[in-house]
Amino acid sequence: MWIKILLIVAIAIQMVAMVFAVRLIRTTKYNSIWILFVIGFTLLSVERIVQLMRASGQALPYEVFVWLGLGISISMSIGVMYAHKLFRYIARLNRQRQLLNKRILTAVLRTEEKSRSHFSKELHDGLGPLLSSAKMSLSAIRRENLPADQQEIIGNTTYVIEEAIRSLREISNNLSPQVLNDFGLARGIQNFINRSSSVDEVKIRFTTNLRAERFDTDVEVIMYRIVCELINNSLKHSGCSEINLSLSKSGNLLSLDYSDNGKGFDPEAMTDCGMGLSNIASRINSLNGTFDIASAKGRGMRAKVQVKTGPDREVKS
């Protein structure tokens, strides 16, 4: 009696498995693996039915079991051997998805930098000359014999315009650093450090073996932005007194080593810090580079970035 019950349960389970396999056939566009498994489950169900009939006292030829067993073995064995095709298909989809994500991110970054450059040029070439002309006009008026109170007003206005011109240059340079565009990554980073050091007491040490080397525009811009963001984060949030930065090239590998002696943090708990650690990682990932960061409370932080710069760099656009 128990054998019959178990055979009925086995038939039901195999029929359910067959239904799921049929659904997978449609989902995977009639992949041969699931077709073979459907055949196998069907034959297994038939075999259980035959065994149930035999348990009920019906005599069946031995050859029936032999042919059913052969059919099940062949279909299941071939299905398992073809399973590697499914894994290759999944891996290909994952590679295509990753490539698409990188292409989208690269396009976004290039569009962002193009917009920055456009705004920077408009500010520098449009608003800059107007402010300079206003300053020259006030300087000319100031040379006239005017009452002291009017001279003071003109002097204050001239000072405000000078501050506006200085701020305009700073904004324009932050949007699209001209030194980076003209002289390359090392000079661009050094120029940013010089400007940061002039307004902050934190000591920044920068060493590099780069001279006048130029790299792909994407590499230069992304590495520059990351250095700027790391320094800004250290100055604003870490409370550090010292920052060490090293940029080196060995073969076709460009490496950035960064550290500060600040209060540190838990990298896993930091979801957004300025541009955000995850955002930095995604930018580096768009170059097929690596980004490692280590920090602990009271122990400062260290970051290491590596990207390929040669013609074999696998960045698709």
What confidence tier does 143 reach under pLDDT thresholds 50, 70, 90?
A: confident
Comparison of pLDDT for 112 and 317, the residue scoring more: 112
DSSP assignment string, 116-131: HHHHHHHIIIIIHHHH
- Check if the beta carbon of residue 228 is closer than 8 Å to that of residue 206: no
171-199 core/surface letters (b: 16 or more CB in 10 A; e: else) = ebbebbbbbbeeebbbbbbbbbbeebeee
Handedness of CA 281, 287, 288, 290 (dihedral sign): negative
Average pLDDT over every residue of 192-205: 83
Selection from 7-16, 17-26, 54-63, 277-286 with the highest mean pLDDT: 277-286
Q: Does position 273 have pLDDT exceeding 60, yes or no?
A: no
Strands (E), the chain: 203-208, 242-250, 253-260, 290-295, 301-308
DSSP assignment string, 71-90: HHHHHHHHHHHTHHHHHHHH
Q: Which of 123-132, 226-235, 294-303 has the lowest mean pLDDT?
A: 123-132
Question: How high is the pLDDT of residue 316?
Answer: 37
Q: What is the value of pTM for the model shown?
A: 0.60
Q: Does position 117 have pLDDT exceeding 50, yes or no?
A: yes
Q: Does position 178 have pLDDT exceeding 70, yes or no?
A: yes
